[in-house]
Amino acid sequence: MRLLIKIRLKSMFGGIKKSMKSKKAGAGALLILAVLICIASVEVVLFGACNLLAPFLETSFAWLYFSLIGILAFAIGILGTVFTTQSQMYEAKDNEMLLAMPIKPFHIIFSRVLALYILTLGFTACIMLPAGLVYGLKVGFSVKFVVIYLVSIFLLSMIIQTITCLLGWLLHFVLAGFKHKALVATFFMTIVMVAYMFGINQLEGLLMMLIQNGGKIAEAIQSFVWPFYALGQACMGDMVQFLLFTLFSVGVFAGVMFLLSKTFTKAMLAGGKTKSAGKQKRDRKIRTPEATICRKESKRFFTSTTYLVNVGMGIFMMVALVIAGIVFKSKITAVAALLGDVKRYYSFVIVAVMGFMAAMTTISAPAVSLEGKHIWILRSMPISGAAVLKAKLRFHCMVAASLAFIGGLILGIVYECSLAEILIAAIGSALLHVLCGVLGLVLNMCFPRLDWPTEAAPCKQSMAVFLAIIIMMFLCIGVFALSIFGINLVGKEFSVFVLLGVTLIIALVTYLLYLLMVKWGGKKFETL
């Protein structure tokens, strides 16, 4: 059991440790970046907690503050880890090997869940710690509060992990019955993402509603979601509720662990019984080497739930964004009109927003790592590393850049931009996706790990994906800031030239990065 846990933790954190050892400067920068993101998330929670706490302290519902924070942590934790849990538990490559060994299924499951628990604990702590800090600063810290609160974080994480495991288990059995798992899972994830974004959008109103209806909500929590009532009361110092909360957390966790271990073998067989895609027609088309690799990438992308959901959500979000832009045009223009004459900024917003979607479409970033044990196929063929990378980029552009171009065109037309603005905005949007594709491949060649234990790992945990997302986000902000600066410099009437200038800068950066990818990246691929 100890060895299994050690292996799981090593596979989770081994990559980070390895890169910290080999590239100290890069890893240091990454660490700073991660800390900055954590600080930013913590600040958001602090802001919300401050607004939420004051009104509750004035009433007798102070415990409700902790219950609501607990519910928030629960919702975020569940959303963030269901698919990870499902893939880590049931799609791990070593499942069959471990099951064939004299190891109890409980030990296999427990070692996996423990590793996932650490991630969940991180999520929960990001929400709960700032909220506890806000409470402590306003009301005062006591040893009893600190101890109970910290233990509650561990217990709440346990409940979150329990429910996530249960959902992951259900998801595994549900998906096993579908032919096109990837598309079903992505459809589900898109709905979850849209609901999540809608929730974030409504956060302010939600907070007001919570404050105004504190009494009713407290009653509802006490009746329907008792564990959060117990959590709230425990944090307020009620030792009986704390003990009950502890018993509940440990009890449900143990129960679910028992259920999962008893059904693990069956669940693995259910995965194997997945409906066959059936006999397919023989493909008789002749392609160039690059086109055939591009097609192979397409097949991998559209048949892998993990790949599609984790780095391809942006393509679905782009479609949703364009539809929302058309449907809510009058509302959006009305809100924009409040800011003054901003019509000339529309094309810039289109580029920035479509470009921002690039950060959610990092298809190319794990593309080399995903070759994994198959790397021998491309490496033993008469095709250069540069050609392989170009083919991978081609697929990225076919999916993301073409969609961004069409999206940019549609939004430009809908928001009545001039012809020049429409065209440049569409090209600019597409170029940001091309840039994201090239950047992803360059980053993957900087961190070309091929020995990931699951397909999910390079998509979720790799440095290349993480950096591609962060860099693209900052880049879009930079592009927008540069555009505003340019307009202020030359005047609104020349905004189209600013747009052109910014697009040319994106094109230049993309081209320089492309040269790096082809020359350095191609050579490096040949040594993998």
Partner 1 sequence: MLHIEGFTKRYGDKVAVNDLNLHIAPGEIYGFIGHNGAGKTTTLKACCGLLKPTAGTITINGKSISADPLGCKKEMAYIPDNPDLYDFLTGYDYLNFVADVYGVSKEDRDERTDRYGELLGITDALSLPISEYSHGMKQKVAIISALIHAPKLILMDEPFVGLDPSASHQLKQLMAKHCEEGGAIFFSTHVLEVAEKLCHKVAIIKGGNLVASGTMEEVKGDSSLENVFLELEDKAE
Site of interaction with partner 1 (CB under 8 A)? 276-277, 279-289, 291-293, 295-296, 299-300, 303-304, 373-374, 376-377, 379-384, 526-527
| Least distance in angstroms from the C-beta of 283 to partner 1 | 5
State which amino acid sits at residue 176.
Answer: A
- Among 153, 151, 155, 149, smallest CA distance to 236 is for 149
Residue 371 per-residue DSSP state:
G
**Given the complex with partner 1, which of 129 and 291 has the nearer CB atom?**
291
Q: Residue 73 corresponds to which tokens in the numbers above?
A: 């942590």
- Which of residues 113 and 308 has its CB atom nearest to partner 1 in the complex? 308
- Cβ neighbors of 512 (< 8 A, separation 6 or more) are none
Residue 379: CB minimum distance to partner 1, A: 5
Q: Is the dihedral of CA 445, 451, 457, 459 positive or negative?
A: positive
| Inter-residue contact 83 to 165 (CB < 8 Å) | no
Nearer to partner 1, 2 or 279 (CB): 279
Are 440 and 514 spatial neighbours (Cβ–Cβ below 8 Å)?
A: no
Q: How far is the CB of 109 from partner 1 (least distance, A)?
A: 24
3-state SS string over 146-214? HHHHHHHHHHHHHHHHHHHHHHHHHHHHHHHCCCCHHHHHHHHHHHHHHHHHHHHHCHHHHHHHHHHCH
Q: Give min distance, CB of 486 to partner 1, in A.
A: 45
| Token pair in block for residue 517 | 């990818």
Q: Specify the residue, 116 or 388, whose C-beta has the smaller distance to partner 1.
A: 388
Tell me the C-alpha distance between 460 and 279, whole Å.
32
Q: Which CB atom, from 507 or from 528, has the smaller least distance to partner 1?
A: 528
Nearest to 185 by CA among 319, 86, 119: 86
Which residue, 107 or 295, has its beta carbon nearer to partner 1?
295
> Which letter does DSSP use for residue 400 in this model?
I
The residue (of 104 and 299) whose beta carbon lies closer to partner 1 is 299
